[in-house]
């Protein structure tokens, strides 16, 4: 399969057990005994995923995770997905793992089928998320817009909605510095009218791909000019392994999760039903400190319902900070 996994645990038996499971699936595996070993190793290597034990001497898993993220940020590298491992019976470690930003949490002793399924799902979803990354010359968010071809599609798709300033604002042929603040304010008013028309429940907007493309592309140009921060979230729902029969399907659970998002997020947030079991969410001007609170509120609302048993939810997150650009000539 070619998937490259690094396992970090101070317990030799755990390393041997996990290594055997992964190699049976033709995965490339490297085993390390401490957080410091991982940081040194990651200085020259880029695996697909890291399995990181929480309870380790000197430098525990959480400390290692934070140090790894600082190193990746300093070097301009994308974050490597991390699964935390723990033998603790309480839920505290799991909650803290997701608050830290972990891709997943695995309890020890490790269950073979669950571990393999979640690794493959995480690698797949990370690859999908790459299609949503922004680049300087190509906007790959959801794979449907770029600065030139996307603009042409946008103006053809909704010529009446974007208005006469649309092509200048969104950047014909990639040029975004031709519009002035007055153009942006006019377009902002048009976008606001569109948004108000899409509101049904009084909460955040749940949009289709075409609507989302218009709004997101505008926000991107708006924040590039004036500065600000956007949090991107990708939620993936799937069936748990070895679940018992239940009166509701995965599709039923997905519909309930859609309502859960609408009930818990703000009016300024946006929700895209990206695929049958995936949601792409944009959170505007949300600090890193506030994100765990928002995430916990979403999950508490979800878990309070009757359709969460047997459903596994993974999420991927990215902070995008825009520095204010100077357009004054």
Whether residue 117 sits in one domain with residue 217: no
Domain count, the chain: 2
Q: Do the domain assignments include residue 105? A: yes
Assign 191 a pLDDT band (cuts: 50, 70, 90).
low
Q: Are residues 80 and 103 in the same domain?
A: yes
Whether residue 118 lies inside any domain: the answer is yes
Token pair of 86 as six digits:
């723990």
pLDDT value at residue 319: 77
Domain for residue 271, yes or no? Answer: yes
pLDDT higher than threshold 90 for residue 67: yes
51 and 162 share one domain: no
Answer yes or no: is 135 within a domain. no
User: DSSP secondary structure string, 52-108?
Assistant: EES--SSS-HHHHHHHHHHHHHHTTPPPPPEEEEE--SSSHHHHHHHHHT-SEEEES
The pLDDT value given to residue 14 = 93
Q: How confident is the model at residue 201 (pLDDT cuts 50, 70, 90)?
A: very low
Range of the domain at 189: 141-322
Q: Is 26 a domain residue?
A: yes
The more confident residue out of 147 and 183 is: 183
**Distance in angstroms (rounded) separating the CA atoms of residues 154 and 190:** 15
What is d(CA 13, CA 72) in angstroms, rounded to the nearest whole number? 30
User: In terms of domains, do 118 and 178 share one?
Assistant: no
The band of 210, judged by pLDDT with boundaries at 50, 70 and 90, is: low
Q: pTM for the complete prediction?
A: 0.47
Give pLDDT, residue 31. Answer: 96
């Amino acid at each position: 399969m070619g998937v490259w996994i690094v396992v970090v645990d101070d317990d030799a038996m755990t390393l041997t057990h996990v290594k055997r499971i992964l190699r049976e699936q033709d995965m490339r595996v490297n085993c390390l005994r401490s957080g410091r070993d991982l940081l040194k190793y990651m200085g020259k290597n880029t695996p697909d995923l890291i399995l990181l034990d929480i309870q380790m001497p000197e430098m525990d898993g959480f400390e290692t995770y934070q140090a790894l993220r600082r190193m990746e940020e300093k070097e301009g590298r994308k974050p490597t997905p991390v699964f935390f491992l723990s033998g603790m019976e309480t839920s505290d470690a799991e909650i803290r793992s997701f608050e830290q930003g972990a891709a997943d949490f695995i309890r020890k002793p490790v269950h073979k089928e669950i571990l393999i399924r979640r690794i493959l799902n995480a690698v797949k979803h990370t690859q999908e998320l790459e299609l949503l990354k922004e680049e300087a010359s190509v906007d790959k968010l959801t794979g449907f817009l770029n600065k030139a071809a996307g603009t042409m599609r946008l103006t053809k798709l909704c010529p009446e909605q974007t208005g006469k300033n649309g092509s200048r604002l969104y950047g014909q042929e990639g040029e975004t510095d031709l519009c002035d603040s007055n153009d942006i304010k006019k377009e902002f008013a048009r976008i606001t009218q569109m948004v108000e028309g899409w509101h049904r429940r009084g909460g955040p907007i749940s949009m289709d791909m075409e609507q989302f493309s218009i709004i997101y592309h505008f926000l991107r140009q708006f924040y590039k000019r004036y500065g600000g921060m956007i949090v991107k979230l990708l939620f993936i729902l799937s069936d748990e392994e070895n679940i018992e029969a239940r009166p509701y399907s995965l599709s039923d659970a997905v519909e309930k999760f859609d309502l859960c998002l609408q009930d818990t997020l703000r009016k300024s947030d946006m929700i895209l039903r990206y695929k049958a079991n995936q949601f792409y969410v944009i959170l505007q001007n949300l600090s890193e400190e506030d994100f765990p609170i928002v995430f916990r509120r979403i999950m508490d609302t979800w878990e309070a319902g009757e359709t969460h048993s047997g459903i596994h939810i993974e999420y991927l997150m990215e902070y995008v900070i825009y520095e204010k650009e100077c357009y004054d000539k």
